[in-house]
Amino acid sequence: MTKIAPSILASDFANLESEIKEVEQAGADYIHVDVMDGKFVPNISIGIPVVKAIRPVTDLPLDVHLMISDPENYVEAFAEAGASIITVHQEATSHLHRTIQLIKNSGTKAGVVINPATPVEMLKPILHEVELVLVMSVNPGFGGQKFIPEVMEKVEKLYTWRKEMNNYSYEIEVDGGVNKETSGLCKQAGADVLVAGSAIFNDRDREKAVSEIRDS
C-alpha cells in the first residue's frame, strides 16, 4: 500500500499538535517536516526546536527533509531532536557520501533528495547506502506549486534499479504538487511514499484527503 506523508508546511502552525494528530488519525504513515534555511531555497520555515516539540505528539516517523546548505553541520542536532529519517539534497552538500554516513552514525535512517533538474544518475554511487530517495516534483521552497510530470522518469529508473540490484532497499518518495489528480502518475512510476501538503491540510476532511491520494 502506498504510504502517505503529510507535509506540515501547509498546516496551521498555531495548532500544530492537533493538525498532526488529525492526519495521524486520518491514516498518514509519516509526518513530513520541511526545513528551509533561506539560502539553499528562497524561503525560511522551521527547524530543530519544532522537530523536538512535535516528537512527543505522534507515534509516526518524522521524515525530515533538509532544504539547507551544508546539512552535515546540523544532522546530529536533528537526530537528537527526534528525526526518524533525515533526507539531504545531493545539491546541498559537497561530500554526499560522508553526509550520508554521518546520518547513519547518528542512529536515524538516511535519505537523499534531488531537485527536478538533477539527473538521478548522480545518486548511483550512494544508492546502496540510503533508505529513502526523494524525487522533487516541484522546485523546493514553497508549497502549493504545480507538479512537474517529467520527473516521473527518474522514479521509473529508481524502481527498475532497485529490482535489478540486491543491495538497493530504498523507498522511493515523491514530493511537490501531489494530489488526487497527480498521485496516480507517481504510483504508476513506482513511488512508495507520497508527500502532500496543501492537498491534505487545505481539506477539512483529512481522512478523505489522505485516502483520495492513496487510492486514486
Its sign, for the CA torsion 134, 135, 136, 137, is negative
Residue 87 Cα distances to 18, 173, 202, 209, angstroms: 25, 11, 25, 25
CA distance 78 to 60: 16
Mark the segment that binds ligand 5RP (CB under 6 A) among 124-132, 159-167, 169-177, 181-189.
169-177
State whether residue 208 is helix, strand or coil. helix
Q: Is 177 a binder of ligand 5RP (CB under 6 A)?
A: yes
Which of 157, 158, 197, 212 contacts ligand 5RP by CB under 6 A?
Answer: 197
Query: Cell numbers at residue 58, please?
Result: 505522534
Answer yes or no: is 65 a known binding residue.
Answer: yes
Q: Which is nearer to ligand 5RP, 9 or 130 (CB)?
A: 9
Subset of 121-140 contacting ligand 5RP (CB under 6 A): 138, 140
Q: Is 106 a binder of ligand 5RP (CB under 6 A)?
A: no
Using CB positions, name the residue nearest to ligand 5RP.
Answer: 197
Locate the DSSP E strands across the chain: 3-6, 31-36, 62-67, 85-89, 109-114, 132-136, 171-175, 193-196
Q: How far is the CB of 58 from ligand 5RP (least distance, A)?
A: 17
Are the beta carbons of 198 and 10 closer than 8 angstroms?
A: yes
Contacting positions for ligand 5RP (CB under 6 A) = 7, 9-10, 32, 34, 65, 67, 138, 140-145, 175-178, 195-199
Annotated binding site for a divalent metal cation: 32, 34, 65, 175
